[in-house]
Amino acid sequence: MLGLVVAVLAVSSFASQPEGDKVNYSDFIAQVQEGRVESITFDNTNGRISGHYTDGTEFRTTSLGLELPEEDYAILKEHNVSVEPRTPESSFLASMLPILLPFALIILFLWWMQRRAAGQMGNVMSIGRSKAKTYTTERPSTTFEDVAGYEGVKQEIREVVDFLRSPQRYAAIGARIPKGVLLVGPPGTGKTLIARAVAGEAGVPFLSVTGSDFMEMFVGVGASRVRDLFQSARKMGRAIIFIDEIDSIGRKRGAGLGGGHDEREQTLNQMLAEMDGFEATEGVVIIAATNRPDVLDGALLRPGRFDRQVIVPLPEFTERLAILKTHCRHKRIGPDVNMDIVARGTPGMAGADLANLVNEAALFAVRQGDDMIRMIHFEEARDRVMIGQRRESVVMTDSEKEMTAYHEGGHALVAALLPNCDPVHKVTILPTGMALGVTMTLPGEEKHSWSQGYIEDRLAMIMGGRMSEELVYGEVTNGAADDLRKATEIARKMVREWGMSDRIGPMAWGSHGPVFLGEDMVQSREYSDDTARIIDEEIEKVLRNAENRTRQLLHDNRKALDGIAKSLLDKETIDGPEVYRCIQAARTNGQLPASHVPAPSTGS
């Protein structure tokens, strides 16, 4: 409306302007004196003059003021020029605009308020509708080819997709597809990515929703959204419902502290009822993902609801290698990069960690002005991810640097001498993360279980730094605080959970469950005070044995320890083969028996 009014005023203003050639006022008076002007019209409001020449053509000009000068008026009268004064009247729209404009603004404001109130009312009425996003076959974003590794997981998911594409094959022999598939695994292993791959592979609609979408401040909204979600899936015929982070609504009911939320329980009850309300032949399959299966309600996991649990574990070596190649697909990788070494040096990393590792390597390459990602960038990125950022601002004194060199040298020497320890990969005395130095060991192969010998050697390696300080300086420092915490935790598990104590025997007492479930808040201790005393004594015995063993090993190989510490002080960072060369040099000088020194590991 405002635009229309402005357009009308502009058009009327433009139309009211006189036509004809524009001339100067002095030229106009000269032409009057020459007798070429027949008549003029003088506008009293703005002093504009328009008129006709004797030949009939038009002209226009502007006077020197709102009135004609007396001498010029005399000239016009002398040459018989017809002068017509005119006072133009304003248009009706222009005169009414100051009155109509406030009313128009008020009407526009009331109209906007009405639309806003109607929209809010509509939102209130639709608050119980599902917030699920619907994906169809026209929008395939991710396929199983984009999911590296996890062939067993993809096989089970492919079975669900194949059933939805051709259900007659399963119906012909009486097979029943699972109603629900629960993806269980640590964070970052690709559960949501696998679900997105189902969206790309399935030829049926795919409804994606997170567990938090069901929760709202109003009671009953979650249950209403669950009903609307399943109704939408039934209307589509065959469909897949994906619920991410289902543990946010599927926690155990009546668990006490943190679990007795009425709205959450009503939402869970409605979901249980809906999952029982349709048959497998309807073609609606539910896929859910969680990293906390221990907190889920038992009724949710029983057969007939989530019939199948698919474990998505941390990737193995071959799977890590495939994941790294997938993330490096569109990056400029240098010819010196060996992905086998990178994959072997990243045990325990999930897919998200590997993606972050590749991105960190690319950032290091850009930061150093390189045109491609090289092996040194992957090494720096792995140290950044696994150990922490190097602290350039920390300046150690010479005595602190020497003590740190002997501390890390003790770790490295024990790890190199004991047969069950992982090979030494890198030792540095540069402040990194929260530590003043780091000794990194990498397994030569994947380990899925730890033997007692491996654990005892690992404890000795952890004690190596503290015992090295005691051997060289006669006292210990607080630099071994984190080492003691790790060693005590391992020793506690050996005694309480793993049955590696002769006095305790084959008994296990695990750690308490999650506090928010409220199940262990009032639970009494499972063993007596005498047993607790024995457990404490056994833990101390394990740690004392590791300490004595490490002290003797370092005392017998003091020359090798001095060599490793000197190499660290000279270079600040040494690799695994350098550690083994220092030990070989000590053995050559007659200090170590040849059987005590393992050959340098090429795999490290």
List Cβ<8 Å contacts ≥24 apart for 471-475: 471/410, 471/551, 471/554, 471/555, 471/558, 471/561, 472/406, 472/561, 473/403, 473/406
Give the distance from CA 327 to its chain's centroid: 16
d(CA 196, CA 183): 13
| Among the listed residues 582, 583, 579, 578, the one whose alpha carbon sits nearest the alpha carbon of residue 594 | 583
Q: Using CA atoms in the order 482, 486, 487, 489, what is the torsion angle rounded to 10 degrees? A: 140
Helices in 143-239 by DSSP H: which ranges?
151-165, 167-172, 191-201, 221-235
The answer to whether 474 and 498 are in contact (CB under 8 A) is: no
Q: 199: how many CB neighbours lie within 10 A of its CB?
A: 25
Q: How far is CA 307 from CA 181, 292, 312, in A?
A: 6, 17, 16
What is the full DSSP assignment across 434-475? Answer: TBS-EEEE--SS--SS--HHHHHHHHHHHHHHHHHHHHHHSS
- Do 283 and 240 touch, CB atoms closer than 8 A? no
- The answer for residues whose C-beta is within 8 angstroms of residue 53's C-beta and 6 or more apart is 31, 36, 37, 38, 59
Which tokens belong to 269? 């009850």
Are residues 177 and 198 in contact, defined by beta-carbon separation less than 8 angstroms?
A: no
For Cα atoms 213, 217, 220, give the angle at the middle one, nearest 5 degrees.
80
Nearest to 407 by CA among 323, 356, 497, 469: 469
Question: 528 in helix, strand or coil?
Answer: coil
DSSP 206: E
Q: CA-CA distance, 422 to 443, in Å (whole number)? A: 5
Helix (H, G, I), strand (E, B) or coil at 290: strand
CA distance 413 to 405: 12
Biggest CA-to-CA distance, the chain: 138
Q: Please confirm, yes or no, whether 71 is among the known catalytic residues.
A: no
Considering the candidates 263, 402, 408, 538, report the single residue annotated as catalytic. 408
Catalytic residues: 408
